[in-house]
Amino acid sequence: MQGEHTFTAMAGFLLTAVVLPVLGVIVVARFDGLDKLSGKAGKRFAFIFTVLIYLSIGPGLGIPRAASVPFEMAVSPYLPNDANRTLWMVLYSALFFLVALWLCLNPGKLVQRIGRVLAPSLLILLVLLFISFVTKGNVNVAPALDSYQSSAFLKGFTEGYNTMNTIAALNFGLVISTTLVSFGLNERKDRITHTVYAGIFAGSILAIVYMMLSYMGMCSSGVYAVQENGAWTLRCIVQQVFGDGGAILLAAIFTLACLTTCVGLINSISQFFSILFKNFVEIYLESMEHRIKENTLMTKQNIFYHHIVPYLGEMKFWTKEEYLTFSRAMMNKEESYHAFEILYWCGIRLGELLALTAEDFDFEKKTLRINKSYQQIKGKDVITTPKTRKSNRVLTLPDFLVDEMQDYISRLPWYLKVDDRIFTITKSGLHHEMDRGCRETGVKRIRVHDLRHSHVSMLIEMGFSAVDIANRVGHESVKVTYRYAHMFPNKDLMIAKKLNISRNGEKDEQKEPGSKWET
pLDDT digits (tens, 9 = 90+) for 450-504: 898 888 878 877 777 767 777 888 765 433 323 333 334 455 667 777 787 777 7
pLDDT digits (tens, 9 = 90+) for 124-163: 988 999 999 999 888 999 999 888 888 999 999 999 998 8
Percent pLDDT > 90 in the chain is 26
Instruction: Identify the sign of the CA torsion 409, 415, 416, 422.
Output: negative
pLDDT score of 28: 81
- Residue 405 clears pLDDT 70, i.e. is over it: yes
Strands of the sheet containing 393-396, edge to edge, are 361-362, 367-370, 393-396
pLDDT score of 158: 94
Beta bridge partner(s), residue 374: 383
Instruction: Identify the sign of the CA torsion 17, 23, 25, 27.
Output: negative
Distances (CA, A) of 375 to 210, 282, 345, 385, 426: 56, 16, 22, 11, 10
- Residue 508 clears pLDDT 70, i.e. is over it: no
Question: What mean pLDDT value characterizes the chain?
Answer: 80
What is the C-alpha separation between 466 and 480, in angstroms, rounded? Answer: 7
3 state SS for 101-160 = HHHHCCHHHHHHHHHHHHHHHHHHHHHHHHHHHHHHCCCCCCCCCHHHCCCHHHHHHHHH
131 in Cβ contact with 125 (< 8 Å) = no
Element holding 382 (H helix, E strand): strand 380-384
pTM (predicted TM-score):
0.55
2 in Cβ contact with 214 (< 8 Å) = yes
pLDDT (average), residues 365-374: 92
Q: Up-side HSE of residue 480: CA atoms within 13 Å toward CB?
A: 14
pLDDT score of 482: 36
* Residue type, position 178, single letter: T
pLDDT score of 453: 81
Largest CA distance in the chain: 92
> Do strands 393-396 and 367-370 pair parallel, antiparallel, or not at all (unpaired)?
antiparallel
pLDDT score of 261: 83
Residue 309 — very low, low, confident or very high, per pLDDT cuts 50/70/90? low
Residue 88 — very low, low, confident or very high, per pLDDT cuts 50/70/90? very high
Residue 248 — very low, low, confident or very high, per pLDDT cuts 50/70/90? confident
What is the C-alpha separation between 437 and 415, in angstroms, rounded? Answer: 31
Q: Which pairs from 58-64 meet CB under 8 Å and 24+ separation? A: 58/171, 58/265, 58/266, 58/268, 58/269, 59/269, 62/164, 62/168, 62/261, 62/262, 62/265, 63/262, 63/265, 63/266
pLDDT digits (tens, 9 = 90+) for 437-458: 888 888 888 888 889 888 887 8
What is the C-alpha separation between 342 and 355, in angstroms, rounded? Answer: 12
Beta bridge partner(s), residue 373: 384
What is the C-alpha separation between 365 and 376, in angstroms, rounded? Answer: 32
- Residue 308 clears pLDDT 60, i.e. is over it: no
pLDDT digits (tens, 9 = 90+) for 336-354: 999 999 999 999 988 899 9
pLDDT digits (tens, 9 = 90+) for 13-46: 999 999 999 998 888 877 767 767 777 787 788 7
pLDDT digits (tens, 9 = 90+) for 261-271: 888 888 878 87
pLDDT score of 161: 92
SS3 375: strand
Compute how many other C-beta atoms are within 10 angstroms of the C-beta atom of residue 321.
10
pLDDT score of 218: 92
- Alpha-helical runs (H) found in 306-398: 320-330, 334-346, 350-354
pLDDT digits (tens, 9 = 90+) for 127-138: 999 999 999 888
